[in-house]
Structure 1
Amino acid sequence: PFRYDHVGSLLRPARLKKARQAFVDGSITKEELTEVEDQEIIKVIEKQKEVGLKAVTDGEFRRRWWHLDFIAGLNGISVFDFKTSAFGIEADAQGSYVSGQLSFNIDHPFLDHFKFTLAHAGSTLAKQTIPGTNMIYLDSVILSKQYQQAPIYSSVDTFKKDLIATYQTAVQAFYDAGCRYLQLDDTSWGALIDGRFRELIKSNGYDPDDLILEFGDITEAVLAHKPDDLAVTFHLCKGNFQSHWLYKGSYERIAKGYCRLLQLRGSF
């Protein structure tokens, strides 16, 4: 299935968007919204099979944001509302910051979401998508004003240790739920190649070139002990919100940076 695939998120049907707004307005219950989600997810799973995909997702139909819903479900994360113009347009958005010790929530709702997808995938491989580890490192620590004002961790190394452990537990939890295809969506890499974001990172006391190596090491550590029959893929992009992008630049900077590390370690 890995030769041709989709990134996991699909356009929300009008019925689903209407139901979600009705829930926000208080005119339907959470149970009624879930029922609509269930029905639309079953439809989109069948559509994916129909067009010949060898792996299916739930279209991420239960999420408001492709990344934040998962991150917000972890222990030690707080969410806030704000206005953004990062994509070149004014829009309502939400962000996150580390407000306590990080760990995986064993009752994370995404586990039940995956089990629903798995139950309706039949003989087709069910794919789960979650944001990559470095999304938290970048957005919830490095670029977070809230975290910079009240850091929870005494050292970056202690934070990274908990971040790795959180994701190792998450990977195993999805595997135990039946997942054999996990995709890590990690758009944080784009900040390391974009001039404006590189300056923001530097202004907060971090070196974006060093982060190329750190991001890679964190990702490798998360997957160091994954089950052999769990396939893990990655989705990288430069951001997409209402057809506007977030990052500019070439991934060549990342490729060269990581190759340099491998050469220094004598493994390349």
Structure 2
Amino acid sequence: MHVWRSDVVGSLLRPAWLQEARGQVERGTLAAAAFKRIEDRAVDEAVALQEAAGLEVITDGEMRRYAFFGHLIEAVEGFDREGGWSVTFRDAEGHAAPLRRPVVVGKLAWRRQMSVEEFTYLRGRTTRQVKVTLLSAQQAAAYYDPEFSKAAYATRDAYLADLVDFTRREIAELVRLGCEYIQIDAPQYAALLDETIREGYRQRGSDPDRLLDTCIELDNAIIDGHPGVTFGIHICRGNHKSMFYASGGYDRIAEHIFRRARFQRFLLEYDDERSGTFEPLRHVPDDRVVVLGLVSSKKPELEAAAELERRIAEASRYVPLERLAISPQCGFASTHEGNRLTPDDQRAKLELVGRTARAVWTPASTR
């Protein structure tokens, strides 16, 4: 069992020049080859940032995606990019921002591989452990709408069966190319903590508890049969422009997720009171690792190292210290707009993750 102590969830802030180049491509004023060179530069800088921060796990910052789910929507035919139901994100100050989800409107079909380019480029740019992020069946389930999707798929289950097949094919190719760490992003699991969102599922004809059990089975099917690969699952409560869409502790889903899901690493959001207590971690099996997302990717204020160490010690009452790690609570730019932090804020946060991991888990004699 691999226990990398300092992890990163996935996305990093997109440089302004990358954002502008993406807009030029969409307007047809920048050639694809030129844009690829700009993307490569953004990934190179993301790798250098993470290495300098002392992180053990490196991603490409999701610089080639417009959102954390962009690899699926842009690589697989069958989705209307913004035709799904709208989700409202909020913050503690009462601000709100709607985000329209994709919706499946046609039979799924390959345009290209989802993340192979990301992995093959990244592995050649660092000697540290690299990670690729993919989408969970539970998140993809939110892209089915009985009205808009039924012409392509009569049922959500039929759509998700295809989704599982496509994702397994992607993982098989990643593994063939040497990928050793894959994270499945599953914010929709935490959505089932929030009663308002649960009611939304009911109104669209889905029982949220039954959907939870079904999607755990599907996510298990996605990762099954790939020996030698570490699979992590990231569960958060929404992340868009420093806002969230769900609240609540893990209590409601803990036994379902921790005991039935077969992931080796649970990357969990634990940056503020919306996340609840560490007590649900008592359900985590003895052969799993918990990555504590203690450092906020939403707020610019830098956490105190002593407070992080105190919270790690508190979590170790439920999961032994040797099976714990630390990361930011979520990505810094789950959508291309990014959270309300500066690049300097982001750098300081990543450095804090790396520094805290070394302080907690590195023997004093070897620091």
Tell me the TM-score normalized by structure 2.
0.62
Residue identity opposite 2:61 in structure 1: G
Distance 1:156 1:24, change over 3 A: closer
Residue identity opposite 2:80 in structure 1: S
- Aligned-residue offset at 1:61: 0.8
- Aligned-residue offset at 1:225: 1.2
Matched, 1:110 2:115: yes
Structure 2: gaps of 5 or more residues: 91-95, 262-284, 286-367
Structure 1: gaps of 5 or more residues: 263-267
Equivalent residue pairs, number:
255
In the alignment, the residues of structure 2 paired with residue 231 and residue 21 of structure 1 have an alpha-carbon distance, to the nearest angstrom, of 35
- Aligned-residue offset at 1:185: 0.8
Give the superposed CA RMSD: 2.7
Aligned match of 1:146 in 145, 148, 157?
148
In the alignment, the residues of structure 2 paired with residue 27 and residue 43 of structure 1 have an alpha-carbon distance, to the nearest angstrom, of 24
- In structure 2, the residue matched to 1:22 is 24
Distance 1:16 1:222, change over 3 A: same
In the alignment, the residues of structure 1 paired with residue 211 and residue 193 of structure 2 have an alpha-carbon distance, to the nearest angstrom, of 11
In the alignment, the residues of structure 2 paired with residue 184 and residue 258 of structure 1 have an alpha-carbon distance, to the nearest angstrom, of 13
Matched residue SS, 1:234: strand
Matched residue SS, 1:46: helix
- In structure 2, the residue matched to 1:209 is 209
Distance 1:195 1:46, change over 3 A: same
Distance 1:258 1:82, change over 3 A: closer
Matched, 1:52 2:54: yes
- Aligned-residue offset at 1:83: 9.3
Distance 1:15 1:219, change over 3 A: same
Contact kept in structure 2, 1:239 and 1:246, CA below 8 Å: yes
Distance 1:190 1:170, change over 3 A: same
158-167 vs 80-89, greater mean Cα deviation = 80-89
- In structure 2, the residue matched to 1:178 is 178
Deviations 1:186-215 (A, max 9, x none): 111122111111111111221111122112
Contact kept in structure 1, 2:114 and 2:170, CA below 8 Å: no
Contact kept in structure 1, 2:115 and 2:170, CA below 8 Å: no
In the alignment, the residues of structure 2 paired with residue 261 and residue 255 of structure 1 have an alpha-carbon distance, to the nearest angstrom, of 10
In the alignment, the residues of structure 2 paired with residue 98 and residue 114 of structure 1 have an alpha-carbon distance, to the nearest angstrom, of 26
Deviations 1:11-62 (A, max 9, x none): 1122222322333444432222221111121122122222222221111111
Deviations 1:79-102 (A, max 9, x none): 2357956114345x4532223334
What are the residue-to-residue correspondences of 1:56-67 with 2, within 5 Å?
Answer: 56-67=58-69
Matched residue SS, 1:80: coil
What are the residue-to-residue correspondences of 1:4-23 with 2, within 5 Å?
Answer: 4-23=6-25
Matched residue SS, 2:9: coil
Tell me the TM-score normalized by structure 1.
0.83
Residue identity opposite 2:190 in structure 1: G
- Aligned-residue offset at 1:164: 2.4
In the alignment, the residues of structure 2 paired with residue 215 and residue 59 of structure 1 have an alpha-carbon distance, to the nearest angstrom, of 27
Residue identity opposite 1:79 in structure 2: R
Contact kept in structure 2, 1:83 and 1:90, CA below 8 Å: no
Matched residue SS, 1:140: coil
Matched residue SS, 1:158: helix
Contact kept in structure 1, 2:6 and 2:57, CA below 8 Å: no
- Aligned-residue offset at 1:151: 4.3
Per chain length, whose mean CA-contact separation is higher, i.e. which structure has more relative contact order (CA < 8 Å, sep 6+)?
2
Matched residue SS, 1:7: coil
Identity of aligned residues (%): 25
